[in-house]
Amino acid sequence: MYPEKSVTPFLLLVCLVSLAASGSSAGTVTIPDNHVYQYRATRELVALVNDAAERVRANGEASFTDFRVSGSRWRHGDAYIFVLDPLGNMLVHPDTALEGKNDLNLKDINGRPIIRGIINAASPSKPEGWYHYQWPVPGEILPRWKSTYVRLVTAPSGKRYIIGAGMYNDRMEKPFVVDAVMDAVAQIEKMGKAAFPLFHDPTGPFLVKEAYIFVIDSNGVDLVNPAFPNLEGRNILDHKDTQGKQPIREMLSIVQTSGSGWVDYMWPKPGESVSTQKSAYVSKVKLGEQWVMVGCGVYLTDAPKSARATTKMTAPEMMGLVRQAAAVFESEGTNAFPELRRKGSKWFRDDTYFFVWSMDGRRVFHAADPSIEGQSASGVKDVLGRPYGKMILEAAAGPSGEGWVHYMYPEPGDIFPAWKSAFVKRVKFPSGKQYIVGCGVYNMQMDKAFITDVVNQAAALIAAHGKEAFGQLRDKTGPFVFMDTYVFVDSLDGTELVNPAQPSLEGKNILDLRDVKGKAVAKECIDAALKNGAAWVDYYWYRPGSNTPARKQAYVRKVQSGENTYVVGSGFIPEEPATSQQHPRSTSL
């Protein structure tokens, strides 16, 4: 048995789920090698679960009395044990008002089942595992990633229990990845290709933090890739990473010779195009008459990233260039096409070039690829399903006649989609006909110009349509959600009405919500908008899906729609080191 040692504040909870006894043997607790975990907080959490599991195996249900003792290692501060039965009824909990309540259908903000997931993470065939979900820290309202470790154990009474502990932490440990791959292999063995949709399900256990399951056949064809769906169906056997390594060939070689193993390589994080050092665990599994490779990876903490090519143009410079081109077209019309097609000119350098569309979306001019001229682009979408053709038409048709459009598309010669930002402007040619002139840059650094543009678009939409516009603002394939940026809307009393990144905030009054520096964020945004009409506000906030706050700059505007007044805003986190960090902390479910 493990010694009785004090619990660090990193520990979250220990949960026991009572299960009916069956013929399977879970009476002996097999202690895994705790040294495989990189972080001390994780090692201590796992050690506590192992100690609790051994106590239940030896002492049975009498342990429940020990778990109820305040100030003991099992219940002190925010760390405590609770007990559930398989139907989701709460049997033991520090809050006596919760005992006897059924929480089996409890879900996180993304619809991920919490109690059911904890129960399913440990089974007779795999008596230990991890489960991850998002939940607000007690006393706060923003959801955080939480990781819970669980073990299956049989008490002397013959009843079986799942024992677990969890902590708030957005880091991934290698054992989390191995656990996910083992579960994915089991699903493929059971269901075959019918298991593939499970790996895309945002409410399921296979999309966690920055980790995802990928499946590649023996020839190198990518069958499943939720993070980069544009790769599915594509043969990536010969793909080289930024260091010249062929990771797919190496992975396939390992599973062919050893069945499973680890491969280190460079690969972008989901939603990014710049590669980061990654370590993936891969395993071989039978699929019909053939075999496939299943894998999942962890991006190494503080690992180096590939150098990003520096953008030659800032957002204000791009806007200036497009407006200059617009003036040329207004004067010369189609006679300007040869000059704008000339490589090396101010209009066509590297991957920066101009395009001209008709107002119905027909490509009239494309400096980089004349072969697509004459084709309709009104219905084109990017790899995320964002209808950027429609966005360009709407931006040019708006009251200002110009605006930014952001979408993801692979750079020439690359397989990974990158964010591209295009500035477009409506222009009248000498013929009297109107066209759309635009130019874009890959991986342009986030700029205040983008934020003011998206807020102004949202404000115009709300002014015209009121609450009916909120659905468009929430649409993650629309123009109001891109990169880590989204539009939020508050009422004057502090109620959050729209928040695509943290939908759990909608309908809640956040007037007194404070950031890590003590600033009342919503109150300051509302006050600034009411006083100045529009203003920039600085505060500390969280990137979507992150547990670490960073300095954020938000632009807010007062908007009137009929008798209703709203504050609409959006912001970005400048590319600089955060001055405030938060360690994994303990709390209740």
Tokens describing residue 95: 């809050």
- Of the candidates 73, 63, 72, which has an alpha carbon nearest to the alpha carbon of residue 29? 63
Task: Report the chain's C-alpha Rg in angstroms.
Answer: 27
What's the confidence (pLDDT) of residue 545? 62
Q: Are 503 and 109 in contact (CB under 8 A)?
A: yes
Q: d(Cα 431, Cα 360) in Å, to the nearest integer?
A: 17
Q: Where are any strands of DSSP class E within 254-378?
A: 260-268, 275-287, 290-299, 354-358, 363-366
What's the confidence (pLDDT) of residue 559? 98
Which residue type is seen at 194? A
Q: d(Cα 468, Cα 489) in Å, to the nearest integer?
A: 13
What's the confidence (pLDDT) of residue 587? 32
Cα-flanking dihedrals φ and ψ of residue 109, to 5°?
-65, -20
Which residues, other chains included, contact 322 with Cβ-Cβ below 8 Å and sequence gap of 6+? Answer: 402, 423, 424, 425, 437, 438, 439
CA distances from 377 to 356, 358, 380, 561 (A): 11, 10, 5, 33
Regions of the chain with pLDDT less than 50: 1-34, 577-589
Q: Are 408 and 418 in contact (CB under 8 A)?
A: yes
Which residue type is seen at 333? G
Q: d(Cα 46, Cα 125) in Å, to the nearest integer?
A: 20
Q: d(Cα 388, Cα 185) in Å, to the nearest integer?
A: 37
Tokens describing residue 560: 């009137």
**Where does residue 313 rank: exposed (0-12), middle (13-18), buried (19+ CB within 10 A)?**
middle
What's the confidence (pLDDT) of residue 181? 96
CA angle 461, 466, 472 (to 5 degrees): 55
Q: d(Cα 33, Cα 26) in Å, to the nearest integer?
A: 18
Tens-digit pLDDT profile for residues 144-180: 888 888 888 899 999 988 888 888 877 788 999 999 9
| DSSP class of 547 | S
CA angle 509, 511, 516 (to 5 degrees): 115
What's the confidence (pLDDT) of residue 489? 98
| All domains of the chain in start order, with CATH | 13-170 (3.30.450.20), 178-299 (3.30.450.20), 309-445 (3.30.450.20), 446-584 (3.30.450.20)
Q: d(Cα 167, Cα 130) in Å, to the nearest integer?
A: 11
| DSSP class of 102 | B
Angle of helix 315-332 versus helix 448-465 axis, rounded to 10: 70
What's the confidence (pLDDT) of residue 308? 54
Tens-digit pLDDT profile for residues 501-515: 888 889 999 999 898
